[in-house]
Amino acid sequence: MKHLLITNGTVVTDELVARGTVVTIGDRIMLVAGEEEGRRILEAASPHVFQVIDAQGGWIAPGLIDVHMHGCAGVELMDGTTEALQTMARFLAQHGTVGFLPSTVTAAEDKTRSVCQVVAAYEDTAEGAELLGLHLEGPYISEQYKGAQYGPAIRQADLRELEELYSILGSKLKLVTLAPEVPGSLEAVAWLKARGVTVSMGHTDATYEQALAGIERGITHVTHTFNGMRGLHHREPGAVGAVLATPGLFAELIADFVHVHPGAIKVLLRSVGTEHVVLVSDSVQATGLPDGEYVLGDNKIFVRDGAARLAEGNLAGSTLTLRRAVRNMIEGIGVDPVDAFRMASLNPARTIGLAYRGWIKEGYKADFVLLTPDFEVQKTIISGRIVYSAD
């Protein structure tokens, strides 16, 4: 495998580098250079050593990382097959995502255990995004705010079940969403934190005080902020109030302008800061496909005008991609491109404890997405290797 010399694009790093160049050695970033230095490097580089990639005036951006997605391209994690994971990985790579956490939905114990076994045994495909681990969303959630989660399988937090799932997944159990007010949840938070698992608050009817109790035990992440949780009221700030008032939490955002109004997005940005907003897709199997009838776990969902809902009208995930979320934040909210890409790359990496991932910086893993000026994916590069090219 040749080393890479990616040139003639706007490099997204701590600041935008116009007409910049990025040099990789193996699976690591060696250098980020401006126009003049890049020209000298290009002139000196041996074609026997380096593969030169022309970004054609587009974006040279960090590869995107999705820590909350259920499916796409007609498949979902709850299918429980290796083939479904492979399909998801290939689709994601085509849309600029280099790493992902497939997410469960609330299901019976045996079904959840079976899915975890498939994830534990999975080996990455050469044409797809990297499976970074598993996000266990539910089953320890609120019936009141279950959203599109399967109600009959909701249950109290169970350390015995968590121990069994952890024995299957080990370090692949990266993220767990639970409601802190559910019996047993506070003990589960402490247990998971002790094992290096990121714990998220979501699908919760927690009061402000109950949410803070969960945060004190070790909750550091928030699942699709505003959605599936008790909202903000001036006499009872609820879970949303706790999120907005507590520094340092990583707060997910589904930036499709269906789940969250642009005004509320601006409130979140002002409250938690761009360093702690995590863009997620929460994508379902309909992503990349036409409107119609699909499933999310044990529930039927219906997609109309790109929005996925249950028959009774509850939102049921999204048909968003992270690439589109970044574009929405830049063009629809006016976020600086550096911050928009950070929310879809570095922040997701940080919240699940990935070191030297998610940013274009010397010594970091060589993961990139090359985009046109209009944010269409041209190439996706993982560990210094091209896994997708639109050519």
Q: What is the pLDDT of residues 222-267, one digit of tens each?
A: 999 999 999 999 999 999 999 999 999 999 999 999 999 999 999 9
- Cα–Cα distance between 292 and 82 in angstroms, integer? 25
Q: What is the pLDDT of residues 64-74, one digit of tens each?
A: 999 999 999 99
pLDDT of residue 1: 78
Question: Helix 109-121 and helix 82-94: axis angle, to 10°?
Answer: 60
**Token pair of 359 as six digits:** 């940013």
Closest alpha carbon to 105 in 300, 278, 288, 249: 300
**Token pair of 64 as six digits:** 């995107």
Q: What is the pLDDT of residues 257-300, one digit of tens each?
A: 999 999 999 999 999 999 999 999 999 999 999 999 999 999 99
Alpha helix stretches (DSSP H) within the chain: 35-44, 82-94, 109-121, 159-169, 185-194, 208-217, 238-245, 262-272, 322-328, 337-343, 346-351
- The domain spans of the chain are 3-61+359-389, 64-351
pLDDT above 90 (res 105): yes
Of all helices (H) and strands (E), which one includes residue 295? strand 292-296
DSSP code at position 63: P
Q: Which CATH architecture group holds 64-351?
A: Alpha-Beta Barrel (3.20)
**Any catalytic annotation for residue 282?**
yes
Closest alpha carbon to 65 in 95, 97, 38, 96: 97
Residue 139 preceded by cis peptide, ω within 30: yes
CATH topology for the 3-61+359-389 domain: Urease, subunit C; domain 1 (2.30.40)
- Cα–Cα distance between 283 and 280 in angstroms, integer? 8
Catalytic pick among 282, 336, 367, 391: 282
**Token pair of 163 as six digits:** 């121990």
Contact 85, 45 (CB under 8 A): no
Does the model's pTM come out above 0.75? yes
Is it true that 3-61+359-389 and 64-351 share their CATH fold?
no
Contact 358, 42 (CB under 8 A): no
pLDDT above 90 (res 209): yes
